[in-house]
């Protein structure tokens, strides 16, 4: 079945060439996006995602494309039309269509696109065995907390990681501290057994999965510290993992080729992965 997309008021085949040439998203990357997962037809952590969308929109001086209840109905309708229950939902809002000019006219209506596709979560073997990451300098801008569609440094780093046989690129700031992955948040369990991830701020995207996982960890009595860490500390850590809406909680077992601890996913990682999977209604491959 051909996939159906929603584009500014119309449901169209995904192959449709339906975006205006002078869309500010296309010409200036003046837009933001969200990725939400649906499990069994349920949009998970919907309010957290839509709250983040509102924050991103405010940061790029863009009004919401429609009221939240209408947006939710629309996403549900898109899932139905695509006959998908387990899906990755992508939505993108750009500042709208206007003759190309850096400044934009008053009252410009935002453009809105949404797509869905079958969910592709990490394979059981990736979840069981863990994945490799490779580090690169973080060359992004100073507002990584905005979920901007301007992802060039992220996609270039990810492509280099994939070419190096790795699942993810971990980005490192000028002080040698890991910010986050190209499309995920980065975590370690340090030598004292404390779960560590970089604090919120303009250097990282505040992941919805990150938020949820911090709550799950605190609820499970796992000590948590939101502080930056270096690549060397990560390599010497007891455990490492990454999180995102689509990668879930994924053990990291090698960083720049060096094994993390004994090169096997750690116990806290597996526990958190199981807690997160259970919360999402997904089977966990990491439980023993
Ligand atoms: N950081 C970056 C740069 C990302 O692109 C993503 C995924 N969109 C994340 C972190 C994780 O965010 P979430 O858990 O909300 O998917």
Q: What is the CATH number of the domain that holds 128?
A: 3.20.10.10
Mean of pLDDT values over 173-202: 98
Q: Give pLDDT, residue 2.
A: 74
Mean pLDDT to the nearest integer, 68-81: 98
Instruction: Answer yes or no: do 95 and 220 share one domain.
Output: no
**Structural domain ending residue among the three candidates 72, 100, 118:** 118
Residues 229 and 128 placed together within one structural domain of the fold: yes
> Which atom of ligand 1 has the smallest separation from the CA of 154?
3
pLDDT tops 60 at residue 287: no
Q: CB of 72 within 8 A of CB of 46?
A: yes
Q: Provide the pLDDT for residue 177.
A: 98
Same domain, 198 and 72: no
Out of 133, 178, 183, mutate this one to test ligand 1's pocket (max ligand atoms within 8 Å of CB): namely 183
Residue tagged 């990681």 (tokens)? 161
pLDDT score at 285: 65
- Among the candidates 89, 118, 147, a domain finishes at 118
Q: Provide the domain count of the chain.
A: 2
- The pLDDT assigned to 283 comes to 82
User: 268 falls in which pLDDT band (50, 70, 90)?
Assistant: very high
4-8: long-range contacts, CB 8 A cutoff, minimum separation 24 = 4/78, 4/81, 4/82, 5/78, 5/113, 5/114, 5/115, 6/74, 6/78, 6/112, 6/113, 6/114, 6/115, 7/112, 7/113, 8/111, 8/112, 8/113
Buried/exposed 56-69: b ≥16 CB within 10 Å, e otherwise = bbeebebebbeeee
The answer for residues whose C-beta is within 8 angstroms of residue 122's C-beta and 6 or more apart is 131, 247, 248, 250
Mean pLDDT of 61-79: 98
**Residue 110 CA, ligand 1 centroid: distance in Å:** 23
Q: Evaluate whether 228 touches 172 at the Cβ level (below 8 Å).
A: no
Residue 162 covered by a domain = yes
Give the chain's mean pLDDT: 97
Nearest CA to ligand 1 atom 4: 183
Residue 171's pLDDT is what?
98
Whether 91 and 135 share a structural domain: no
Boundary of a domain, candidates 118, 137, 157: 118
Number of CB atoms found within 10 A of residue 109's CB? 12
**Does residue 210 sit in the same domain as residue 78?**
no
**274 and 227, same domain (yes or no):** yes
pLDDT of residue 286: 54
Same domain membership, residue 276 and residue 157: yes
Is 147 designated active site? yes
The ligand 1 atom nearest the CA atom of 209: 14
Residue 287 lies in a domain: no
Q: What pLDDT does 200 receive?
A: 98
Ligand 1 pocket (Cβ < 6 Å) reads 35, 154, 180, 183-185, 205, 207-210, 243-245
Give me the domain span that covers residue 66: 4-118
14 and 114, same domain (yes or no): yes
Which pLDDT does position 284 carry in this prediction? 74
The pLDDT assigned to 288 comes to 46
Mean pLDDT within 48-71: 98
**Same domain (yes/no): 136, 274:** yes
Q: How far is the CA of 246 from the centre of ligand 1 (A)?
A: 9
Q: Give me the mean pLDDT over the 44-58 stretch.
A: 98
What was the pLDDT predicted at 228? 98
Give the model's pLDDT for residue 113.
98
Nearest residue CA, atom 5 of ligand 1? 183
Q: For 125-179, what is each residue's pLDDT tens digit?
A: 999 999 999 999 999 999 999 999 999 999 999 999 999 999 999 999 999 999 9
179 with 90, same domain: the answer is no
Q: Which residue's CA is minimally distant from atom 8 of ligand 1?
A: 183
**In ligand 1, which atom is closest to the CA atom of 247?**
16
Per-residue pLDDT at 82 exceeds 90: yes
Q: Which residue has the tokens 């390599």?
A: 235
pLDDT tens digits along 88-129: 999 999 999 999 999 999 999 999 999 999 999 999 999 999
Q: Sign of torsion, CA 51 56 61 62?
A: negative
- Of 261, 262, 270, 272, which Cα lies nearest the Cα of 190? 261
**Closest atom of ligand 1 relative to the 245 alpha carbon:** 16
Mean pLDDT throughout 228-246? Answer: 98
Whole-number Å distance, alpha carbon 207 to ligand 1 midpoint, is: 5
């Amino acid at each position: 079945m051909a996939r159906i997309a929603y584009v500014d008021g119309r449901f169209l085949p995904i192959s449709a060439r339906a975006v205006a040439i002078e869309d500010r998203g296309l010409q200036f990357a003046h837009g933001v996006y969200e990725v939400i997962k649906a499990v069994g037809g349920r949009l998970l952590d919907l309010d957290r995602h839509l709250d983040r969308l509102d924050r991103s929109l405010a940061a790029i001086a863009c009004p919401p494309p429609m009221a939240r209840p209408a947006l939710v109905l629309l996403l549900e309708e898109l899932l139905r039309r695509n006959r998908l229950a387990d899906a990755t939902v992508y939505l993108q809002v750009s500042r709208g269509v206007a003759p190309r000019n850096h400044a934009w006219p008053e009252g410009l209506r935002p453009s809105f696109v949404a797509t869905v596709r079958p969910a592709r979560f990490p394979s059981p073997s990736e979840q069981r065995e863990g994945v490799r990451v490779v580090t690169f300098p973080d060359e992004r801008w100073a507002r990584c907390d905005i979920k901007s569609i301007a992802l060039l440094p992220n996609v270039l780093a990810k492509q280099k990681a994939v070419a190096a046989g790795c699942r993810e690129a971990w980005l490192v700031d000028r002080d040698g501290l890991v910010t986050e992955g190209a499309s995920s948040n980065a975590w370690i369990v340090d030598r004292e057994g404390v779960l560590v991830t970089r604090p919120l701020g303009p250097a990282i995207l505040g992941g919805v999965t990150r938020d949820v996982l911090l709550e799950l960890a605190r609820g499970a009595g796992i000590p948590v510290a939101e502080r930056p860490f270096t690549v060397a500390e990560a390599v010497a850590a007891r455990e490492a993992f990454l999180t995102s809406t689509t990668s879930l909680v994924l053990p990291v077992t090698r960083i720049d080729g060096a094994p993390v601890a004994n090169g096997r996913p750690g116990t806290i990682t597996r526990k958190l992965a199981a807690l997160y999977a259970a919360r999402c209604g997904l089977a966990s491959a990491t439980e023993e």
